[in-house]
Amino acid sequence: MQTPLTPQETAAFARDGAVIRRAFVPGRLVDRVRSSVDGWYRTEMDPALISSYTQRTFAPDLGNDHDVLALFHESGVADLVTSLVPEIEPVVTAQIQIRVPESDTGITQPEKAMHVDGVACPHLDASELRTFTLLVGVVLSEIADSDGGALRYVPGGHVDMAEWFRTEWSIGMTDQVPPRIDAEQGTPLLGSPGDVLLMHHLVPHAVGRNTSPTPRIMAYFRVSHAQHARQRLEALRDPWLEYPAIRTVTA
């Protein structure tokens, strides 16, 4: 059965660029992934590679693991997504992002300043766009406060970013966001395992230190509209190009 977003959630997504469904992914799906990620964290994580995991993914071998992909495909999340973006590229990989408690390794994990994914990434060529349409985050650990490595996002920032991309930005610039966005603290994503964040690709976000004693663990899925590869620049400048349901109500 399809689980679409409600009209109220769709309106909230249009306004904020983000919507959270609490306790959405069944516990049995979350628990399987937690057990694999916890095993990797205990026995395979190389503290010397924390910067590299932070840029790419933690637990790289789990990126196309069946249980990890089930968080998207077997939980109802895919149906939430297609109620916003009906035509999508197949979702075949996931990213695991952990904010490591400083007390665990003594290593300070790099923070990520306000950015939108795939534009002027510090580790990529500035002229290369690795954009997509919708970021889906599945919470895999308790996130009780923002100092616990919570993702921080700017509600409504998608509209501001699209305006900046239209009027001030050009390809090859190394600024990730305009100064007014860089100055934002952002709203922390607090929550519990099984909560799901759907966030417009243009919503700026950041992450900082984890001073709590527990790892903050998220699985992320980057969803692209079926035509995205052919319209990356247009999608940066028109926030609803790839969201037909919202395009019709905001037109």
The residues of the shown chain that bind ligand AKG, judged by CB under 6 A, are 97, 99, 112, 117, 151, 205, 207, 218
Q: How far apart are CA 137 and CA 71, in angstroms?
A: 10
Instruction: Tell me how far, at minimum, the Cβ of 206 lies from ligand AKG, in Å.
Output: 7
Nearer to ligand AKG by C-beta: 117 or 160? Answer: 117
Nearer to ligand AKG by C-beta: 94 or 246? Answer: 94
Residues whose CB is less than 8 angstroms from the CB of residue 34 and which lie 6 or more positions away in sequence, other chains included:
140, 141, 193, 217
Nearer to ligand AKG by C-beta: 10 or 97? Answer: 97
Alpha-carbon dihedral 112, 116, 121, 122, rounded to 10 degrees: -30
Nearer to ligand AKG by C-beta: 99 or 228? Answer: 99
Nearer to ligand AKG by C-beta: 221 or 245? Answer: 221
Instruction: Tell me how far, at minimum, the Cβ of 180 lies from ligand AKG, in Å.
Output: 19
Beta sheet of 112-115, edge-to-edge order: 112-115, 205-207, 151-153, 187-188
Whether residue 129 contacts residue 89, with contact meaning beta carbons closer than 8 Å, is answered with: no
Q: How far apart are CA 225 and CA 157, in angstroms?
A: 20
Phi, psi of 61 (to 5 degrees): -70, -15
Instruction: Tell me how far, at minimum, the Cβ of 117 lies from ligand AKG, in Å.
Output: 5
Nearer to ligand AKG by C-beta: 37 or 207? Answer: 207
Instruction: Tell me how far, at minimum, the Cβ of 112 lies from ligand AKG, in Å.
Output: 5
Q: Which residue minimizes CB distance to ligand AKG? A: 97
Stretch (H or E) spanning 151:
strand 151-153
Q: How far apart are CA 44 and CA 96, in angstroms?
A: 14
Nearer to ligand AKG by C-beta: 201 or 228? Answer: 201
Residues whose CB is less than 8 angstroms from the CB of residue 88 and which lie 6 or more positions away in sequence, other chains included:
81, 82, 133, 223, 224, 225, 226
Whether residue 27 contacts residue 194, with contact meaning beta carbons closer than 8 Å, is answered with: yes
C-alpha closest to that of 30 among 90, 71, 76, 74 = 71
